[in-house]
Amino acid sequence: MTIAPTRIPRQRELQADPRTMGTPEEPRDLRLYRRMRFIRRFEETLLGLFDEGVLNGTTHACIGQEADAVGVIEHVEEGDHIFSNHRCHGHYLARTGDALGLMAEIMGKEAGVCGGIGGSQHVCAPGFMSNGVQGGIVPTAAGIALAMKLRGSDRVSVVFIGDGTLGEGAVYETLNIAALWDLPLLIVLEDNEWAQSTPTELNTAGSMRARFEAFGIPVTETTTTDVAELDALAGNEIAAVRTTGKTRVLLVHTYRLCHHSKSDDHRPEEEVALRWVTEPLAIARQRIAESQWQRIDAEVEAALAEVVATARALP
């Protein structure tokens, strides 16, 4: 099949909906909560559409990991680049707010962000790229970081990977070059304790941290699911990459609360239930009044209902 390049609308005009993304004036705690709620409900809606038979294929939700996406991407600026993986919706939505483009994309509609040919895992937009080949996106992120450096720009690349991706050789080849050449790259390692059906202890020898430190790359490590803490940590990391021009790692020990993809889960139910106690939205709600999060939830819901109705009607 030949696909005409013109089908890929690379420069779409995006207007972030304040009901899902908030505004710069909105207090930070509220905006961070709003964005996490938006990602959570987008993905829950998506899973519902699969159940209804509206969507085919598969998808990987980041339910439980929204704080990583929102906290880190809060510090990404115009001209920076984000690279993501098969579990990319949170990263894309936190960056762009483009719920309609992503929903239409996953529905295979021409108005989707990649003309409906990339689907859930392969999203390409200005400043954003995801790929379902584990680890494959890491050298790409380093390449763009090199390009930015050669242009004399202070723009950074941020790449999100999972713990299971530490098994990919391309990651280590990239770490070597990134450290040797001082590339402005932040690697966000989301360790959610499982790679599909394999627990970390069965596939990752030694220390995750030491793997980066062996290349002389500094690592900041956290177990928090609190978006305010992640926001602060990520702010420091991105600022450090921007000012030093050197590669760093933010290692976040987190947990995936949903299936690996839309229906496969091999984990003990008690293990998953325990992690719902520290899920990021519940933590964020503790910082804001009930009336505030209820209002935000209603606004997000209304915006998403419009997105789904519009996307369904698209050709």
Ligand X SMILES: Cc1ncc(C[n+]2csc(CCOP(=O)(O)OP(=O)(O)O)c2C)c(N)n1
Residues paired with 124 in a beta bridge:
129
Q: How far apart are CB 121 and ligand X at their closest, in Å? A: 8
Tokens linked to 196: 């599909």
Q: How far apart are CB 30 and ligand X at their closest, in Å? A: 28
Q: How far apart are CB 195 and ligand X at their closest, in Å? A: 3
Find the residue with minimal CB distance to ligand X: 162
Q: Which residues contact 85 (CB under 8 A, 6 or more apart)?
A: 121, 130, 131, 132, 134, 137, 160, 161, 162, 165
Of the pair 157, 192, the CB lying nearest ligand X is at 192
Q: How far apart are CB 198 and ligand X at their closest, in Å? A: 8
Residues near ligand X (CB under 6 A): 86-87, 132-134, 162-165, 192, 194-196, 256, 260
At residue 156, φ and ψ (nearest 5 deg) are -115, 160
Task: Check residue 187 and report its DSSP letter.
Answer: E
Q: At what angle do helices 28-52 and 290-313 cross, to 10 degrees?
A: 40
Tokens linked to 270: 């008690």
Of the pair 20, 59, the CB lying nearest ligand X is at 59
Q: CA gyration radius for the chain?
A: 19
Q: How far apart are CB 155 and ligand X at their closest, in Å? A: 26
Listing DSSP states for 111-141 in one string gives TSTTTTSSTTT--EETTEEE-SSTTTHHHHH
Of the pair 196, 278, the CB lying nearest ligand X is at 196
Q: How far apart are CB 159 and ligand X at their closest, in Å? A: 12
Of the pair 107, 208, the CB lying nearest ligand X is at 208
Of the pair 31, 256, the CB lying nearest ligand X is at 256
Of the pair 63, 283, the CB lying nearest ligand X is at 63
Instruction: Tell me how far apart the alpha carbons of residues 97 and 18 are, in angstroms, rounded to a whole number.
Output: 9
